[in-house]
Amino acid sequence: MRCLHSGANDVGSAQAFRVSDSGEPIDHATSKAALRSRLLAARRQLTDRERATAAAAVQATLHQVLAALPPPARGGLTVTAYAPFGAEPGGADLPDVLLAALADQPAGGRLLLPVLRPDLDLSWARYEGQLAAGHRGMREPVGPRLGRGAVAEADLVLVPAVAVDQRGVRLGRGGGSYDRALARVPAGVPVLALLHDGELLAEVPAEPHDARVTGAVTPASGLVRTATGGSDPIAC
């Protein structure tokens, strides 16, 4: 499995976000919004073929990540992921790909997907092959809701992101759902963001509430560890 560490030369250059052109501190929320808008616009320019090729590469790395995880003492793996929509990395079939990969594990496993609550926090439900339309365009599992704390049982957490930097700072879509969810993940559990090429940056503007990820998966680079990911158990 390709496994790079933050600071490797594949990490793209990013603009400096700490000060404005005038030298005065700028509002990080504003700079995050501008960066988010630019990167999402670039995603929309990807052709169907480019999206499919990128998704296949990300999925191949995730197969290797699952194989590299040590088996939990309690039995099968628990993985939390999401159902990509539009141009999100991973491909629309990501839940089914992960479900099949977990079925191939020696002790099996379960896949939990998020359910968006009215307060924009995330509950979770087990995915067993069926999705339904949910809030804000999300596709959600139809099984019983397991509550917000279910993410704390995960052995691997996969999250969407618009960008990630070398420190592990994650840029999402601005709703704060994953910042709250990731605060419930125990230390030492690998948290990986799925990205397109060009979305792994030298620096992303950060605010105090921003949760960090231990790594990212990109089509060209495979698994890239961030500075936050020194203690996760993925062997590479």
Left if phi > 0, otherwise alpha if psi is -120 to 50, otherwise beta: which for 220? alpha
Q: Which amino acid is at 95?
A: P
> Which residue has 């995603």 as its token pair?
43
Concatenated DSSP letters of 146-210: --GGGGGG-SEEEEE-SEEETT-BEE--SS-HHHHHHTTSPTT--EEEE--TT-EES-----TT-
pLDDT for the residue 233: 67
pLDDT for the residue 1: 66
Our separate counts of H helices and E strands in the chain read: 4, 13
pLDDT for the residue 171: 94
Count CB atoms within 10 A of the CB of residue 59: 20
pLDDT for the residue 21: 34
Residue-wise over 108-134: b if at least 16 C-beta within 10 A, else e?
Answer: ebbbbbbbbeeeebbbbbbbeeebeeb
Binding residues for ATP: 32-36, 170-178
- Work out whether strand 222-225 and strand 215-218 pair parallel, antiparallel, or are unpaired: antiparallel
Q: In whole angstroms, what separates CA 61 from the centre of its chain?
A: 13
Binding residues: 32-36, 88, 170-178
* Domains of the chain with CATH codes: 3-14+52-225 (3.40.50.10420)
Binding residues for substrate: 88
Q: From CA 172, how far away is CA 191, in angstroms rounded?
A: 14
Per-residue pLDDT of the chain in tens (236 residues, 90 and over written 9): 666 666 544 444 333 223 233 333 345 566 888 999 999 999 999 999 999 999 999 999 999 999 999 888 778 999 999 999 999 999 999 999 999 999 998 889 999 999 999 898 999 999 999 988 877 678 889 989 999 999 999 999 999 999 999 999 999 987 889 999 999 999 999 999 999 999 999 999 888 888 899 999 999 999 999 987 666 667 55
- CA neighbor of 36 nearest in space, from 186, 174, 160, 159: 174
